[in-house]
């Protein structure tokens, strides 16, 4: 049975997050218009205060029962303030989720205090993760890995302390030889070469990183260095997506919810009501649109919550996490565009944040696997096709 009961402590944290959102919204436009600016000292201070208050309510960052689901619920509400601005002082990135999913206890101890980003994409591929061309070779003389290659579109590549990078031990062995490695940014041979200018989530930096004979200790490999059979080898690295996709989906749902709640408020100011107990024939077109959007957001949310609660129970959730992300990606794009349309020219204006949310939300249907790739994963699993039978 699925149980989404929310602990009183989490409820308190969700309420506090809504309070914290007021400040984040007040600074969101500044960082949207000033891409690649570091957080202003006064903003940093307030964001840190907010984060400290949240930590107090949650009682510390120790992983415990329901940790994934709690994080997902909080992530959605945080994203309603802004999907990335609070992340300017973040201490945990997508790479940390990957570490938590597959690292040994010793590695967790070593790396979880670092802010880790995730570097999979390269100039030669995005969706087809089997095409990793960055290489990792073991130097038997020093027992170090030597990494060579280029990673692009690394979220928080500038701000992070370390990068979880996918690299191949032997390109001829295909997926099985792809492993993830933790590269601390200050290692010689690890260079940030470019920062992207983007459509949305402009408070989040997106970087290119080059590894040139970059040496890291042997123990910086996540999982086993053994190259297992081709069909199972990449499970280790792919498993990280199961942990990160629910977070990305809930971030998007938060943006969609922000746009929808804001639009409802503006319509309510004009006298509209949104009754749940009236027949569809008695509702206006706008009322129907709003209620449909709400129902779709709820559907996406519950799919994502299901995938997160499965993680908490250590159940395999690849299917559910892809279903949630595919549904969320579609719904939020639709919701944000419709909200801009319903609000008319003011929806398109920079006076409000709705146009920004419309730009921001697109990314949730791109990173950690596009909507089309999620549908492929879902179809393969539901229909029982192997990767090479449906691509
Ligand atoms: C702002 C931003 C931040 C990012 N952050 C990160 C990050 O932190 N780490 C990281 O590693 N990457 C990151 N990425 C990269 C992102 O994960 C890739 O852009 C994404 O995986 C898609 O890859 P691609 O852009 O090469 O598109 P392609 O793979 O070239 O795909 C292009 C289009 O074709 C579709 N398509 C591809 N294959 C199929 C198929 N088999 N069937 C149907 N349709 C298909 C795709 O859905 C897409 O619409 C980021 C990207 C952006 C824009």
Helices 318-342 and 354-361 sit at what angle, rounded to 10 degrees?
Answer: 150
Which of 32, 98, 121, 152 maximizes ligand 1 atoms within 8 Å of its Cβ, making it the mutation to test the pocket?
121
- Check pocket membership of 206 for ligand 1, CB cut-off 6 A: yes
**pLDDT recorded at residue 16:** 97
**pLDDT recorded at residue 175:** 87
Please, where are the H alpha helices in the chain? 8-33, 41-58, 67-81, 94-102, 105-111, 235-269, 285-312, 318-342, 345-348, 354-361, 371-383
Mean pLDDT along residues 25-35: 96
Mean pLDDT along residues 65-82: 90
**Cα separation, 178 vs 168, whole angstroms:** 4
Q: Report the atom number in ligand 1 closest to the C-alpha of 370.
A: 47
Cα 124 to ligand 1 centre (Å): 11
The distance from CA 50 to its chain's CA centroid, rounded to whole angstroms, is 21
Return the closest-CA partner of residue 332 out of 368, 367, 306, 357. 357
Return the closest-CA partner of residue 307 out of 390, 385, 241, 381. 241
Mean pLDDT along residues 164-180: 94
**pLDDT recorded at residue 273:** 96
- Check pocket membership of 391 for ligand 1, CB cut-off 6 A: yes
- Check pocket membership of 126 for ligand 1, CB cut-off 6 A: yes
**32-44 per-position pLDDT tens digit:** 999 999 999 999 9
**pLDDT recorded at residue 254:** 98
Mean pLDDT along residues 229-239: 58
**pLDDT recorded at residue 336:** 98
Chosen CATH of 116-222 out of 2.40.50.360, 3.30.750.24, 3.20.20.70, 2.40.110.10: 2.40.110.10
Q: Report the atom number in ligand 1 closest to the C-alpha of 369.
A: 21
Cα 179 to ligand 1 centre (Å): 19
- Check pocket membership of 240 for ligand 1, CB cut-off 6 A: no
Q: Residue 87: pLDDT above 90?
A: no
Mean pLDDT along residues 26-53: 95
**96-136 per-position pLDDT tens digit:** 888 887 888 999 889 988 999 999 999 999 999 999 999 99
Q: How far apart are the first and last CA of the chain?
A: 33
Task: Give the residue, by CA position, lying nearest to ligand 1 atom 41.
Answer: 391
Return the closest-CA partner of residue 362 out of 26, 68, 83. 83
**Cα separation, 47 vs 63, whole angstroms:** 23
Provide CATH 1.20.140.10 ranges for the chain: 235-389
Q: Residue 66: pLDDT above 80?
A: no
Helices 235-269 and 354-361 sit at what angle, rounded to 10 degrees?
Answer: 160
Active site residue 150: no
Mean pLDDT along residues 21-40: 96
Query: What does pLDDT average to over the chain?
Result: 92
> What is the b/e burial string over 288-304, where b = at least 16 CB atoms within 10 angstroms of the residue's CB?
ebbbebbebbeebbebb
Which CATH architecture is the domain 235-389 placed in? Up-down Bundle (1.20)
Q: Report the atom number in ligand 1 closest to the C-alpha of 125.
A: 26
Catalytic residue among 76, 122, 320, 368: 368
**320-354 per-position pLDDT tens digit:** 999 999 999 999 999 999 999 999 999 999 999 99
Q: Residue 232: pLDDT above 50?
A: no
Lowest mean pLDDT among 82-91, 209-218, 324-333, 360-369: 82-91
Provide CATH 2.40.110.10 ranges for the chain: 116-222
- Give the pLDDT band (50/70/90) at residue 154: very high
Q: Residue 86: pLDDT above 50?
A: yes
**pLDDT recorded at residue 258:** 98
On whether the CB atoms of residues 218 and 84 are closer than 8 A, the answer is: no
Cα 369 to ligand 1 centre (Å): 6
**pLDDT recorded at residue 391:** 85
């Amino acid at each position: 049975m699925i149980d989404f009961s929310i602990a009183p402590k989490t409820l308190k944290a969700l309420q506090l997050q809504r309070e914290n959102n007021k400040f984040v919204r007040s600074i969101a436009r500044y960082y949207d218009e000033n891409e690649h600016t570091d957080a202003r000292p006064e903003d940093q201070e307030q964001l840190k205060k907010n984060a400290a208050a949240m930590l107090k309510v949650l009682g510390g960052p120790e992983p415990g029962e329901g940790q994934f689901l709690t994080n997902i619920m909080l992530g959605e509400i945080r994203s309603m303030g802004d999907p990335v601005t609070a992340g300017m002082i973040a201490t945990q990135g997508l790479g940390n989720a990957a570490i938590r999913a597959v690292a040994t206890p010793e590695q967790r101890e070593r790396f979880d205090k670092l802010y880790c980003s995730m570097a999979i994409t390269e100039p030669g591929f995005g969706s087809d993760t089997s095409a990793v061309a960055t290489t990792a070779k073991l130097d038997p003389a020093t027992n170090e890995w030597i990494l060579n290659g280029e990673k692009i579109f690394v979220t928080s590549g500038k701000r992070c302390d370390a990068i979880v990078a996918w690299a191949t031990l032997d390109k001829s062995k295909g997926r099985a030889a792809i492993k993830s490695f933790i590269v601390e940014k200050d290692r010689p041979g690890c260079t940030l070469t470019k920062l992207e200018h983007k459509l949305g989530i402009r408070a989040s930096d997106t970087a290119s990183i080059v590894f040139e004979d970059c040496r890291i200790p042997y123990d910086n490999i996540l999982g086993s260095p053994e190259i297992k059979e081709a069909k199972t080898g990449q499970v280790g690295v792919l498993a990280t997506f199961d942990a990160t996709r629910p977070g990305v989906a809930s971030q998007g749902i938060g943006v969609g919810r922000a746009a929808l709640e804001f639009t409802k408020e503006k319509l309510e100011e004009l006298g509209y009501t949104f009754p749940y107990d009236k027949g569809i024939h008695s509702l206006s077109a706008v009322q129907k649109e709003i209620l449909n959007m709400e129902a779709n957001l709820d559907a996406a949310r519950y799919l994502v919550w299901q995938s997160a609660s499965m993680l908490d129970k250590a159940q395999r959730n690849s299917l559910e996490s892809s279903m949630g992300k595919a549904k969320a990606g579609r719904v939020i794009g639709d919701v944000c565009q419709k909200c801009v349309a319903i609000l008319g020219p003011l929806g398109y204006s920079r006076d409000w944040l709705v146009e920004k949310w419309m730009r921001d939300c697109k990314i949730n249907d791109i990173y950690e696997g596009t909507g089309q790739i999620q549908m492929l994963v879902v179809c393969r699993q539901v229909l029982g096709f192997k990767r090479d039978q449906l691509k």
